[in-house]
Amino acid sequence: MGQNPHYQLFIDGARSEGSTGQVMTTDNPATGDEWATFACAAPADVERAISAARRVLDEPKWRDMTQTQRGKLLYRLADLIEENADHIGRVETTDSGKLLAETVGQTRYVADYYRYYAGLADKVEGAVLPIDKPDMHVFTKREPIGVVVAIVPWNAQMFLTATKLGPALAAGCSVVLKASEIAPAPMFEFACLCERAGFPPGVVSVITGDAENCAIPLTRHPDVDRIAFTGGPDTARHVVRNSAENFAVTTLELGGKSPILVFEDADLDGAANGLIAGNFGASGQSCVAGSRGLIHRPVFEELVQKIADKAAQIRVGDPLVADTHVGPLCTTAQITRIEETLATAVAQGARIRFGGAPLDQPGNYMAPTLVECSDLETETLKVEMFGPVMSLIPFDTEEEAIAIANGTPFGLGSGVFTQNLARAHRVSSRIKAGICWINTYRAVSPIAPFGGVNQSGYGREAGIEAVQDYTRTKTIWISTSDEPMANPFVMR
């Protein structure tokens, strides 16, 4: 890409350095070399972004824009995303290590999320109420909830931004997008597209920075009305505590240890592909990674061998190369965490069936790994490693499989592979998770709600109801009587 790029904050329609001059670097995970720098926000910059977002809500250019006009801006943004998918994908791959095919494909697909919400922008409706009082006309209308803080992690930035920004803008809100301080470059490229689409200054700002200087003042700010957060449970607890300062409506999409249940009647080739996709897709760096493979004992060895055979064909390498299957992990810290977790699991009696170590080459490369777990206390069954590690454990009965699946504080994704339709309905209804895929895995759509239960968070993103989550209902009472309002101190 030539000289290393430098990215500035995007606040109120303008680019600037942070007020303290703090700059951070970002490395290319495929090489370990620094490739870009970016400005970091300080509390004064957070104040500028929130003030702009609050101001624009009262300015005619955004406040009085019709819902149909807002939809047209979203359609324009969707077209720009699609047109620039190759460039944004290449930036994201260089910054995060995700496969180029995935980043480009995902960027193109999220254009449809913005189109979906563009179409819903003028479908946000109120209702006339059949009130129980004579001479009263009462109706409701939905108004923008206000200033939204959207916090996204690095692992699926364009997708996780779309599920927040799309409905928020369709509803007429203003948004301060806080990108991760790890690999934020694609979000600053995306800011350019928001500007080109024609959104008024202040409607969308993009900033990044550390917790103390950026995230904490952002989530505590008294002018914030709504927080949409995707990340880990530990950080989420801080976000919830901070939101007590402003009573912002908060939704959380957190991590998971998603189970994939494979029954003896399943198509084993399809199940093996599902487990591979669920664990090694995106190098395992997915909140819905199906990192716990629960396999019916009669087919356990056969299926594990199929998975191992497929894993042996995986090409790990440069994410910019077209025939690479698994790229590097985003940070060296992930490699360390995986190594430590695997060591603990082996000490507990787990057996490494494939892989199990980083690759001996520059970059953050981890071999796809299969771990046969000796019991339910094995460390790899508990820790979200965010890497290409699949834990496999046999079960004997349907009841046991459901109990193991639900034996976690998380509850985001889940999968069931079976040819028995009754079993598919029965088991999926009892798994405690926000999503259950049957004979497939990791499918998403703007039409389908996405979110979890328990320590995987609360609230839902995507789907038709998401727009309403960025509105507040106002009730309006109109007296239709020709008589003046009665004296309230004269009882009839």
Mean pLDDT computed over 83-110 = 97
Integer Cα distance of 345 and 343 in angstroms = 5
Same structural domain for residues 152 and 30? yes
- The total domain count for the chain is 2
Structure tokens at 34: 């620094």
What is the structure's pLDDT at 3? 83
Integer Cα distance of 262 and 13 in angstroms = 51
Same structural domain for residues 218 and 326? no
| Residue 52 covered by a domain | yes
Q: Let me know: does 338 contact 385? Beta carbons within 8 Å.
A: yes
What is the structure's pLDDT at 486? 87
Mean pLDDT computed over 117-126 = 96
Mean pLDDT computed over 378-407 = 96
Same structural domain for residues 374 and 242? no
Mean pLDDT across the chain, nearest whole number?
96
Q: Let me know: does 166 contact 464? Beta carbons within 8 Å.
A: no
Same structural domain for residues 205 and 266? no
What is the structure's pLDDT at 492? 65
Mean pLDDT computed over 389-417 = 97
Integer Cα distance of 467 and 313 in angstroms = 43
Q: What is the CA angle 421-410-177, rounded to 5? A: 110
| Residue 445 covered by a domain | no
Same structural domain for residues 54 and 193? yes
Same structural domain for residues 106 and 243? yes
| Residue 487 covered by a domain | no
Same structural domain for residues 112 and 186? yes
- DSSP code string of 337-385: HHHHHHHHHHHTT-EEEE--SB-SSSSS-B--EEEE-SSTT-GGGT---
3-class secondary-structure state, position 427: helix
Domain containing 400 equals 259-438
Active-site entry in 253, 372, 384, 461: 253
- pTM equals 0.95
Same structural domain for residues 227 and 78? yes
Integer Cα distance of 300 and 262 in angstroms = 9
pLDDT bin (cut points 50, 70, 90) of residue 1 is very low
Same structural domain for residues 197 and 263? no
**How many helices and strands (H and E) does the chain possess?**
15, 21
Mean pLDDT computed over 173-195 = 97
Residue 59 bears catalytic tag: no
The answer, yes or no, to whether residue 2 has pLDDT greater than 60, is: no
What is the structure's pLDDT at 87? 98
Domain with residue 463: its CATH number is 3.40.605.10
* The amino acid at 386: F
Torsion of CA 109, 122, 457, 262, to 10 degrees: -50
In what order do the strands lie in the sheet containing 351-354? 351-354, 369-372, 389-395, 292-296, 259-262, 415-417, 437-438
| Residue 490 covered by a domain | no
Domain with residue 339: its CATH number is 3.40.309.10
Integer Cα distance of 114 and 117 in angstroms = 5
Segments in 332-397 forming alpha helices (H): 332-347
Percent of the chain scoring above 70 in pLDDT = 99
